[in-house]
Structure 1
Amino acid sequence: MSTVILKGYIEVPTEELNEVTNALVEHIRLTEAEPGCLVFKVTKHSTISTRFDVYEEFEDQKAFEHHQQRVLSSEWGQLTANVRRFYDVVVRE
């Protein structure tokens, strides 16, 4: 089985920061409940107020793709349409 790992960060526009921060708790809860989600961490950067560091692990490609599709059509996906994403995705055998 191949674990899919996403790591990187997001940059949130200053004017959307409060709304995105408030919605993050529910986004994390929903993601952690997804089948195949092994690790899901989104943490506020210690010195850059508009940046959140992201680390995700999913048990396989299918679980990762399910997460990506769910997010696209979710409230979080709509709310973060203006967020800039900087990710690397790797597959660990």
Structure 2
Amino acid sequence: MTCLRSIFGLALVGSVLLTVQSARADELVAGSYPGQISIAAFVTAPPGKEKEFMATFAKFTQEVRAEPGCVNFDVHQNSKISNRFFVYENFKDQAAFDQHVSAAHTKNFVQFLNSSGGVLQFENWTMVTERRAP
């Protein structure tokens, strides 16, 4: 199994995708955010720990949604491999993403992943087109 070095400087294991709409999504989408930071994260939970991961993601999602620069945070579960998750996150800009990374709830989530045997793989993307409002 491949382990990637995370932005947090910790080797994590997993392939999880979570998606959570921000409470301020309409406000943030109304503008154009060149340079918006997008993250595609994959989390793999140890087999049998799916419910524990889902409960932790639910709490983490609410905390991330409350961040001022969070455009969205969405978590998905693989329909055929129940211990695999995909998380799609967008932040208004690099400063908002940096704030997310340094937040206590993010550090706590990473600690949970490390201690539970979860694996995290992610890629950073920069939005280059304007986003249409829903």
Instruction: Give the helix-richer structure, 1 or 2.
Output: 1
Is 2:69 the counterpart of 1:24?
no
- The counterpart of 1:52, out of the listed 67, 80, 85, is 85
Aligned to 2:67: 34
CA RMSD of aligned residues (A): 1.5
Which protein shows a greater Rg? 2
Is 2:118 the counterpart of 1:83?
yes
Distance in 2 between residues matched to 1:15 and 1:65, nearest whole Å: 33
Distance in 2 between residues matched to 1:40 and 1:78, nearest whole Å: 19
Aligned to 1:4: 37
Q: Contact between 1:36 and 1:58, CA under 8 Å: does it hold in 2?
A: yes
Instruction: Give the strand-richer structure, 1 or 2.
Output: 1
Q: Calculate the TM-score normalised by the size of structure 2.
A: 0.62
Q: Calculate the TM-score normalised by the size of structure 1.
A: 0.86
Aligned to 1:92: 127
> What's the CA shift string for 1:15-37, capped at 9, x where partnerless?
43322211111110000000100
Could you tell which deviates more after superposition, 16-25 or 2-11? Answer: 16-25
Aligned to 2:5: none
Sequence identity (%): 26
Higher relative contact order (CA 8 A, sep 6+): 1
Could you tell which deviates more after superposition, 48-57 or 11-20? Answer: 11-20
Runs of 4+ residues deviating >6 angstroms: none
Distance in 2 between residues matched to 1:86 and 1:12, nearest whole Å: 12
Query: Judging changes above 3 Å, is the alpha-carbon distance between structure 1 residues 87 and 14 closer, same or farther for their aligned structure 2 residues?
Result: same
Distance in 2 between residues matched to 1:16 and 1:68, nearest whole Å: 25
**Gaps in structure 1 of 5+ consecutive residues:** none
